[in-house]
Amino acid sequence: MGVTKEFVIGVDPGKATGIAVYDLVSNKVIEVHETQNGIKGFKPVFLDLLYDYNADLSHVACENFTLRSSNKFTANLDGVKIIGWMQGEEYGEAFPEPSQHMQLTRLREKKDNYADSPVTHMMKQAGCKIGKGHTRMGLSVAVWFAAKRLTHIPTLELLKPKDS
């Protein structure tokens, strides 16, 4: 029997990249980071987190980037470069589409109130700065991975809509 992993590191890649560490034992966000300057800013912070949280005890998930006409594409491919580097280095067990994790965590633009999202509540409880939302999206990816890929029951419970 293998070692049970304790953390999920979620990544929202781009020129500004959000990274979040989700603890599967406490079901809380431990820390978040927003890096600038694409892969150059992302890589050292990500590698430090893998070291700090022991790569053998951490799952890694990264939001995918699919170029399509509906994207508000402005000729910046930093997210694609980060994903390519992660895949080349064999980091990342899943690369969900934005719609997959955002629907589950109730962070869809024009459909959800971000303040009602369980991810927003988790970040506020932990005292994390949300800023422009890159870190919140990184946590959304981590929570999606825990719920959908690991079928982590405590995370699924966190995501259930509260009865009014």
Q: Give a yes or no: residue 11 inside a domain.
A: yes
Query: Looking at the DSSP assignment, which residues form a beta bridge with residue 135?
Result: none
Q: Give the pTM.
A: 0.91
Give the number of domains in the chain: 1
In a domain, 39, yes or no: yes
Which residues are paired to 7 by β-bridges?
23, 58
Q: Which residue has the tokens 């700090």?
A: 52
Find residue 59's DSSP bridge partners: 8
Rg (alpha carbons) of the chain, rounded to whole number: 15
Domain membership of residue 159 (yes or no) is no
Residue in the block written with tokens 């491919």: 77
Going from the first residue of the chain to its last (164 residues), give the mean pLDDT of each consecutive group of 10, the final group possibly shorter.
79 96 96 96 97 93 81 76 96 93 88 89 92 92 96 94 62
Residue 1 lies inside a defined structural domain of this protein: no
Residue 107 lies in a domain: yes
How far apart, in whole angstroms, are the C-alpha atoms of residue 162 and residue 145? Answer: 21
How far, in whole angstroms, is CA 156 from its chain's centroid? 16
Tell me, yes or no, whether 142 lies in a domain. Answer: yes
The residue with tokens 């050292």 is: 44
Which pLDDT value is given to residue 164? 46
Site of tokens 């962070």 = 107
Domain assignment of residue 157, yes or no: no
Q: Is 161 inside any structural domain?
A: no
Give the CATH number of the domain where residue 59 resides: 3.30.420.10
Residues near 136 by beta carbon (within 8 Å), at least 6 away in sequence: 18, 107, 114, 117, 119, 120, 123, 130
pLDDT of 103-141, one tens digit each? Answer: 999 988 888 888 889 999 999 999 998 888 999 999 999
The boundaries of the domain holding residue 26 are: 7-64+75-152
Fill in the amino acid letter for 98.
Answer: P
